[in-house]
Structure 1
């Protein structure tokens, strides 16, 4: 006789299977969420690095463009070449926006890129004015001025509270008014309404404030992405820990409940090899013979005699 399996052991096995499955599911979900959080954090770091690298590249190319446009014979070619390189750098930064982890981060990063384009448009028009306007460059100058003003007006409602405050402070400042008056005069081929020193000072101040506005918005967008990654990581760890604790608690409770069930061990009879093999005829035990009926009849007849 062998005891193959007990009812209690079978009940415990049935309880352990879903508990173990819950543990596996908890581990898989936790690993997936942690991977997403780490990926979001890495993407935020890459975006911050790309934004800083692009801004530095744009500033360097702007300085090279202004220097190259000092030669009248190279003015048009230098303007077109460096402007195209700057546009390519900004377009590369837009590619990082498409990889944003969520819509809010993408929205804020797009706003930062638009501000960088506005700052580039202002510097583009300023470089044309510094090089000297003629019949060929006056139209591109007017288009550049109109484009960066329209871009700044369009992006203003998308700014944060501090960004809108900085925008209003910029557009209401005296430097903005002086620069706008000088730009309008250049576009209309009229004399400067302000001294050249005041025009240059206003242009420098406006350019610096536009750069700070871009930096502030870019840092906010990157910080927003980092915070999202931290929240995802914290949620992943919390959810995974909760699932694991529930699974372990379930296993402990089931084990204790099964241990309290008074279920006897159910034996299963297994025939042995020896009894399964038929024995030969001569080895079988003989049954006692049934007595013949005639001796009993003789005894009964003797008892009936008087």
Structure 2
């Protein structure tokens, strides 16, 4: 299929981009990498009247570490982040990005584009949620910052208004005593995950101070839980992963609410989620305790 007809504009400044989007009266879409948007247009699942291409907008291609965070602009490609030494400040990005589509898609797709698209099976929204990322949104009323916990509101639905643009995201840099884990299972590499988990554990003086578990591909949006007490209770056992399993099985029953399909029943996804969660929480705990506090 081919996209329905649309108008195309390519502004050079952020103010012009916001003005062009506002002028569409809710009938416009922002184009950055296009790796999610273009297939939607081609299948006519979306029919915006205007595409506002922000690739020429100055200042949206920045990737820098400042004030204890990694700031990624709206037009920064996933592959650039994947290969950047600056991104080492956020280990979870290094763990997750190789699983985002294929290398060719990551060379064009953007980090902010994946977050704005908010596919419930996507990796980067779950990473943002697990880390407590801050998302910068710009519109006619100025710029505002939205916490990741408030950003994802449903399948392909975010806190970005129809006249606003996601202009950057800030991921907190890893601190001392932090460990991370990431895993997903898909039928083929690059496919959407049947279930995926993102984990973060912070230790202080050898004890668990904080633990967070996020999941994707298991609900209509990325989901997260504070699992500090669960990891703290298992930390003293000889086999931490095995000790975590009863708790992650209970979490799976709570967090995995997507219906079954041809690729896997709900029960299968819950079992898969429980196994991955226990494994990656144990891995994050080990990394956290091995990291200098």
Bigger relative contact order, structure 1 or 2, given CA contacts below 8 A and separation 6+? 1
TM > 0.5: no
Question: How does the TM-score come out when normalised to structure 1?
Answer: 0.23
**Higher-Rg member (1/2):** 1
Question: How does the TM-score come out when normalised to structure 2?
Answer: 0.24
- Structure showing the higher strand proportion among its residues: 2
- Structure showing the higher helix proportion among its residues: 1
